[in-house]
Every structure is written in C-alpha cells, then in structure tokens.
Amino acid sequence: MSLSTELVDSLWGKFVAGTAAVRSFPRLPVIGLASLALVAGSITGSSPAANADTTVTDTVSTAILGGSLTAVVSAPIRMSPIPLGGRANQASVGTPVEWTITNARGSSYAWSLSVSATDFVSAAGTFDILPRTVDAENLTITPGIVTAHTGEGADAAPTTEPVSVSHRPQALVWTRTLGKGTFTLTPEFSLDVPPNAFRSNFSGRIDGSAVNPFVSVLTFTIA
C-alpha cells in the first residue's frame, strides 16, 4: 500500500514540530539537584556525636527521725503462797508477762532499766491491828535471757544482772553504748520468806476472813 505525498508531508511536519518541543523543555538547574542531594544526606546520614554516651547525675535525700526510749514492764500478777514451816527459808515465786524494751532514739547513748521497791507490808485488819512487814531486800529479780528483735546487723543484747531489790534504784538491764532496737525478756521474781516471818494479817475475824497479802510497790525507771 502506498502513502500519498500529502500524508507523508503531514506526518513529517508533526515529527519535526515534536522534536523542537522536546529540545525547548527547560532543564533542571544543576544547583537544584545538588541541593536535593544535600537535604537527602542530612536525613539519612549519621553524626559521630549522636552515638556518644550521655551521663546524668542527680541526688535523692530523706530524713531519719529519732524515736523514744520505752519499757513495757510489770510485776507478777500473783506470787505463790507460802505455808510457814518454822524450819527453813522458803521462796514465794512468780513470773510476769514478757517485758519489752525499745530504744528507737537512733543514737549511741547508753541506757538502763532500774528498779526500786518498798518493804512488803500486810496491812492491819480489824483484829490484827499491827501491820506486818518483810524487807524489800528479800525480793530478787532475775532478768534472764534478753532477745534482740532488731533484724540483721542489730546491736548486741544489753547486759543483765540479778538484783536484790532495795529502796534505792538498781540497774536490772543496761548498755554502755548503742543498744538500739527492741529487746524482750521474761524475768523471774523470788521472795525469800524466813521461818520466823509473821503470817499475813486477817482483814477481819481471825481464821474467818480473807487475809491481807504482803504488798510491795515496785518502781521501774528507764533512762
């Protein structure tokens, strides 16, 4: 099939016109491409400073406040009764509830638990009109084993010693230094009753009323 001369000329003219249009298309400036490459590099590249270690320091503080020095102590609720035999000394004994000593002062100051007592007195009754007494010194308090309840690294348990009670204070439990924490012990009380002791007075009719027991007032001091 042959093309007409007019068709060939028309196609050739369009080809020439298209080529000229391509040649006239503006080229991108070189500097623009360079700028684009620089921006891309700042996004994907890495700096040595970005991988350096960072150290931050700060402080934390608190206050530790000292507490009190306290003792929870008591005498036995009841001592064993003594039937006089007229021959040998006998012991009226008793054990109180557990004692607790707490030193929460947070210092190295020494402390001591002391005791004093009045003489034992059986009060006069209706017919037994004279009070009867047993000396305070006849009472012995034995502190026994002291257990520390202050955790790991606790201060050592304090020193103890049996005491024959008197009118003046005497140390039962004490420290020379430290002694921080909580300590428990269960002491024993023993009253020495001589064979020539007076019996307890009757409150009313002799042999027909309740007796007035021998009573002593104990004073415990912790300092």
Residue range 126-179, pLDDT digits in tens: 999 999 999 999 999 999 999 998 676 668 889 999 999 999 999 999 999 889
SS3 content of the chain, % helix, strand, coil (to 5): 20, 30, 55
Q: Does residue 52 lie in a domain region?
A: no
Q: Identify whether residues 213 and 127 lie together within a single domain.
A: yes
Mean pLDDT, the chain, whole residue set: 85
pLDDT mean over 184-196:
97
Q: Identify whether residues 33 and 100 lie together within a single domain.
A: no
Q: Identify whether residues 103 and 30 lie together within a single domain.
A: no
Number of domains observed in the structure of the chain: 2
Q: Identify whether residues 137 and 201 lie together within a single domain.
A: yes
- Are 150 and 180 in contact by the 8 Å Cβ rule? The answer is yes
Q: Does residue 53 lie in a domain region?
A: no
Q: Does residue 80 lie in a domain region?
A: yes
Of all residues in the chain, the percent with pLDDT exceeding 90 is 71
Q: Does residue 185 lie in a domain region?
A: yes
Dump pLDDT digits (tens) for 82-121: 999 999 999 999 999 999 999 999 999 999 999 999 999 9
What lies within 8 Å, CB to CB, of 169 at 6+ separation is 114, 115, 116, 219, 221
Q: Identify whether residues 109 and 210 lie together within a single domain.
A: yes
Q: How far is CA 106 from CA 100, 132, 155, 178, 182, in A?
A: 17, 47, 11, 9, 12
Q: Does residue 194 lie in a domain region?
A: yes
Q: Identify whether residues 203 and 105 lie together within a single domain.
A: yes
Q: Identify whether residues 125 and 175 lie together within a single domain.
A: yes
Q: Identify whether residues 24 and 133 lie together within a single domain.
A: no
Q: Identify whether residues 29 and 73 lie together within a single domain.
A: no
Q: Identify whether residues 125 and 179 lie together within a single domain.
A: yes
Host domain of residue 97: 69-222
The tokens for 107 are 């210092």
